A and B are shown apart, each in its own frame.
With several copies, the nearest count.
Chain A
Amino acid sequence: MVDVQVSYAPTDEEELIRDTARQFLQDRIGLERVRELMMSDDGFEPGLWKEMADLGWLGLAIAEEHGGSGLGPVELGVLLEEMGRLLTPGPFFASAVLATMAIQQIADPESQKRLLPSLAAGETIASLAVYEKPRGWEVLPAATTAETAGDGWRLNGRKRAVLDGHVADLLLVVADTGDGVGVFGVDASADGVAVSQETTLDSTRRQATVSFSGVELNKDDRLDTGDVPTALTRILRMASAALAAEQVGGAQACMDMAVDYAKSRYQFGRPIGSYQAIKHRCANMLMKVEHAKSTAYHALRVMDDSDELAIAAPLAASVCSEAYVWVAGESIQVHGGIGFTWEHDAHLYLKRAKASSLLLGSPWHQRDLMGLALGI
């Protein structure tokens, strides 16, 4: 089996991005503010979105010719790790990661030129509408249909788990054209588009169910070029790797929280961190977090090697998902009663962890994909 060698030591630029991001997020959207947004109707703050655009975050991984910063997945991962650390709410992952990757991977040059700049500028919020079934993460075949109507298309169907679909302007819809599968850019405000927000386990990342009944589309609303199924597989792998970075940040935050508490909380005249039951649990957290980091960092660094990504992405997804869920749960246990209260932040991470582990494919689903890539 080939052994893909990459460098994991962070560059100065990555460190700079990390420090800036951590500082900005902490000041601008700390957990206090996250709680407010969490309880709000749409969990979205336009002002913050604008600032992210100005910081160049929304176009971080978009080519400069399309108004982005032209940076890569590694830098994007740093940003996501910091956002995961503070549970940053809003459609960043949906629009600046998932939808942006989708357009970059699947859309023809014309469409990219048309769409990417407004995504980078934060003028358009996009989301990928690809899932239809309540369980299982296979995205094809699509039951949603796009039939030719005049020189355009007519769209019918229903998509679920559309991330932050309730605030999306542009929906990237995967549909069966009768002659293969296509991807269509749909204006969320168009006639026949009905967006209903769902209540989610993780209130810091919303979802919508979107139905399309006879939505009229122009010819050039069809965005795809090339082999769509292959591109979709690739997009979901890339997104899984990106999500893994976010999960790493969350897991790290849970561990830090637990370790700090274990040092300061006394019972029976001793810090609880001096008891092996707590100490060893924290040590295992450390091991899982470090393992998770290794898989996420690796996946982000092999995004351009599709053979390696086919292994590295599901590897990172399964390892980071399980690590985050475990660390978040054990962190509550270390905190004891207080960790179980609404006022404490521990549960916010558990909810994010559990929901994230089922978003793009459960750990066992990802392992199955990994096995296929490994020939096991």
Chain B
Amino acid sequence: MSEDRIQNLVSELLAEHPPETTSNVEFWGAQYDKGLAWAWHPEGFGGLGMSRSDQTRIDQLLVDGGASTENRYLNLLGIAMGAGVLDAHATDEQKRRWLRPMFTTEEIWCQLFSEPGAGSDVAGLATRAVKDGDEWVVNGQKVWTTLAHIAKWGMIVTRTDPDAPKHQGMTYFIVDMEASGVDVRPLYQITGEAEFNEVFFNDVRVPDENRIDAVGAGWRVALTTLMNERVAIGGGSNPRGGGYIGQAVDVWKETGQDDPVLRDELLHLWAEAEAARLTAIRANQMASAGIPGPEGSTGKLAWANLNKEITALTVDLLGLDGTLYPEGYELSRPERSGLHEPSKAFLRTRANSIEGGTSEIMLNILGERVLGLPGEPRVDKDLPWAEVPRG
């Protein structure tokens, strides 16, 4: 789509709704109505049938024009993942109902996949949904749910046919997080903070019109969600020397150390981090040049290892002071923040190799999907879900 047309549409939007005199919610609403929210969506659903890269340009122009794009963070799971799911699987009625308030952040979204018994093996999930008239009755427990405590809508995958093989018997719904029977509790972590929630469903009634795609198509919809998640996470590319390696270097300098052994460890990690950073940049360049390659697949794994090693070294650099925990432990909800101070960062990053796909799963994916190595013998694949051993 032509630069001009995009330029014009954005100028129009900015002229009609001057950011400085317009509330964010109002502005985002107008942006949606103009089809500048998800440019690649069809007209009427926040888009104009343009390309994803067009949206990048639009956002840039909006930022230049003084408008806020913060909604993409405030409602990350909705705008980055939920919208993709609706675009690919929802009816027009459903899109009309949900997309606009999602984009305006009037309605926050969360994702309800993982369960205590279904971590790496998400498709093993046990939360049941049973049809009752034109409603479904949901019972079960979800975990690791960010934003659940402020969310209006939840994307939930449920087990609707326990006698079908695990990947077939699932159905996907949008559940009202304010409905009765939904119980959201903070899930406190190693740091004492609760970034996540566990969500309990007790006879929660979900209207059939909130079902996404067909009964039994839940796994397909879930994969769309996860695909969009991978895009969302990506390789957070700090500038050189940014992130936790930068913090480690700062600590090294501030504490005026000169131990050559620690210096080599620091430089070793600096080199590994820079290699991972350059790899992310190279991967983005190759992707935009349309040259497929494996560069893009290693980031999550690399940064999980690196963050853990770097923050551990940073605590070591503090020496005796590394045995202290300045902030203290108090069970609390964290406010959104950047880098943690070293000892908290050391604890928090232990989860990097678990959250969003364990490193073991990432290694399987690299081995099987990228290198084409054969999978392991599966004992659960064709069994009815109800008969899969769960210990």
**A–B direct contact (CB < 8 Å):** yes
Q: Tell me the A residues contacting B by CB distance below 8 Å.
A: 1-3, 7-10, 39, 131, 133-137, 160-161, 198-203, 207, 259, 262-271, 273-280, 282-284, 286-287, 290-295, 297-298, 315, 318-319, 325, 329, 332-333, 336-343, 347, 350-351, 354-355, 358-359, 362, 364, 367-368, 370-371, 374, 376
8 contacts between A and B (CB under 8 A): A135-B257, A207-B323, A269-B379, A319-B275, A337-B144, A337-B355, A340-B351, A364-B264
In the bound complex, residues from chain A placing their C-beta under 8 Å from that of B143 are 337
Given the interface pairs A269-B388, A294-B295, A315-B275, the reply to whether A135 lies near B373 with Cβ below 8 Å is no
Given the interface pairs A134-B321, A199-B327, A266-B389, the reply to whether A279 lies near B302 with Cβ below 8 Å is no
Cross-interface CB contact of B298 among A266, A287, A351, cutoff 8 Å: A287
**Looking across the interface, which residue of chain B has its beta carbon closest to that of A328?**
B350
In the bound complex, residues from chain A placing their C-beta under 8 Å from that of B276 are 291
B274 and A315 contact, CB distance less than 8 A: yes
Central interface residue in B274, B285, B289, B327, by most chain A CB within 10 Å: B274
In the bound complex, residues from chain A placing their C-beta under 8 Å from that of B281 are 8, 294
In the bound complex, residues from chain A placing their C-beta under 8 Å from that of B320 are 131, 133-137, 160-161, 358-359
In the bound complex, residues from chain B placing their C-beta under 8 Å from that of A202 are 323
User: Closest Cβ of chain B: how far from A129's Cβ, in Å?
Assistant: 13
In the bound complex, residues from chain B placing their C-beta under 8 Å from that of A7 are 285
- Give the docked Cα–Cα distance between A292 and B190 (Å): 26
- Residue B137 CB within 8 A of the other chain: no
Cross-interface CB contact of B189 among A133, A199, A329, A342, cutoff 8 Å: A342
B371 and A294 contact, CB distance less than 8 A: no
- Give the docked Cα–Cα distance between A335 and B280 (Å): 29
Which of the 9-residue segments B39-47, B54-62, B118-126, B206-214 touches chain A? B118-126
Mark out the residues of chain B between 348 and 391 whose CB falls within 8 Å of any chain A CB in the assembled complex. Answer: 350-351, 353-355, 358-360, 362-364, 366-368, 370-380, 383, 388-391
Q: Is the interface of A mostly helix, strand, loop or mixed?
A: helix
Given the interface pairs A134-B318, A201-B322, the reply to whether A291 lies near B282 with Cβ below 8 Å is no
Q: Number of residue pairs across A and B with beta carbons under 8 Å?
A: 271
A283 and B279 contact, CB distance less than 8 A: no
B380 and A268 contact, CB distance less than 8 A: yes
User: Closest Cβ of chain A: how far from B165's Cβ, in Å?
Assistant: 11
Given the interface pairs A259-B373, A283-B371, A290-B295, the reply to whether A342 lies near B278 with Cβ below 8 Å is no
In the bound complex, residues from chain A placing their C-beta under 8 Å from that of B259 are 364
- Residue B319 CB within 8 A of the other chain: yes
Cross-interface CB contact of B271 among A267, A274, A318, A343, cutoff 8 Å: A318
Cross-interface CB contact of A201 among B124, B325, B358, cutoff 8 Å: B325
**Looking across the interface, which residue of chain A has its beta carbon closest to that of B255?**
A135
A368 and B267 contact, CB distance less than 8 A: yes
In the bound complex, residues from chain B placing their C-beta under 8 Å from that of A291 are 272, 275-276, 278-279, 298, 302
Q: Tell me the B residues contacting A by CB distance below 8 Å.
A: 114, 116, 119-121, 124, 143-144, 187-190, 192, 239-241, 249, 252-253, 255, 257, 259, 261-264, 266-268, 270-272, 274-276, 278-279, 281-282, 285-286, 289, 291, 294-295, 297-298, 301-302, 308, 312, 315-329, 331, 343, 346-347, 350-351, 353-355, 358-360, 362-364, 366-368, 370-380, 383, 388-391
**Looking across the interface, which residue of chain B has its beta carbon closest to that of A201?**
B325
- Give the docked Cα–Cα distance between A10 and B267 (Å): 29
User: Closest Cβ of chain A: how far from B94's Cβ, in Å?
Assistant: 31
B321 and A273 contact, CB distance less than 8 A: no
Given the interface pairs A280-B360, A282-B373, the reply to whether A199 lies near B282 with Cβ below 8 Å is no
A135 and B321 contact, CB distance less than 8 A: yes
In the bound complex, residues from chain A placing their C-beta under 8 Å from that of B270 are 370, 374, 376
Cross-interface CB contact of A199 among B121, B267, B294, B325, cutoff 8 Å: B325
A337 and B380 contact, CB distance less than 8 A: no
User: Closest Cβ of chain A: how far from B372's Cβ, in Å?
Assistant: 7
User: Closest Cβ of chain B: how far from A257's Cβ, in Å?
Assistant: 12
- Give the docked Cα–Cα distance between A160 and B264 (Å): 28
**Looking across the interface, which residue of chain B has its beta carbon closest to that of A284?**
B363
A8 and B319 contact, CB distance less than 8 A: no
- Give the docked Cα–Cα distance between A325 and B388 (Å): 36
Cross-interface CB contact of B371 among A282, A292, A364, cutoff 8 Å: A282
User: Closest Cβ of chain A: how far from B310's Cβ, in Å?
Assistant: 14
Cross-interface CB contact of A362 among B253, B319, B350, cutoff 8 Å: B319
B275 and A294 contact, CB distance less than 8 A: yes
**Looking across the interface, which residue of chain A has its beta carbon closest to that of B372?**
A263
Cross-interface CB contact of A267 among B121, B343, B370, cutoff 8 Å: B121
B325 and A259 contact, CB distance less than 8 A: no
B188 and A341 contact, CB distance less than 8 A: yes
- Give the docked Cα–Cα distance between A339 and B266 (Å): 28
- Give the docked Cα–Cα distance between A275 and B360 (Å): 10
B249 and A135 contact, CB distance less than 8 A: no
Cross-interface CB contact of B188 among A279, A342, A374, cutoff 8 Å: A342
Cross-interface CB contact of A268 among B190, B298, B363, B379, cutoff 8 Å: B379
- Give the docked Cα–Cα distance between A371 and B260 (Å): 11
User: Closest Cβ of chain B: how far from A237's Cβ, in Å?
Assistant: 15
B354 and A371 contact, CB distance less than 8 A: no
A367 and B379 contact, CB distance less than 8 A: no
A333 and B373 contact, CB distance less than 8 A: no
**Looking across the interface, which residue of chain B has its beta carbon closest to that of A267?**
B121
- Give the docked Cα–Cα distance between A276 and B259 (Å): 38
A376 and B388 contact, CB distance less than 8 A: no
- Give the docked Cα–Cα distance between A315 and B278 (Å): 11
B267 and A371 contact, CB distance less than 8 A: yes
- Give the docked Cα–Cα distance between A203 and B379 (Å): 43
A287 and B302 contact, CB distance less than 8 A: yes
**Looking across the interface, which residue of chain A has its beta carbon closest to that of B379?**
A269
In the bound complex, residues from chain B placing their C-beta under 8 Å from that of A362 are 316, 319
Given the interface pairs A269-B388, A277-B360, A368-B267, the reply to whether A136 lies near B319 with Cβ below 8 Å is yes
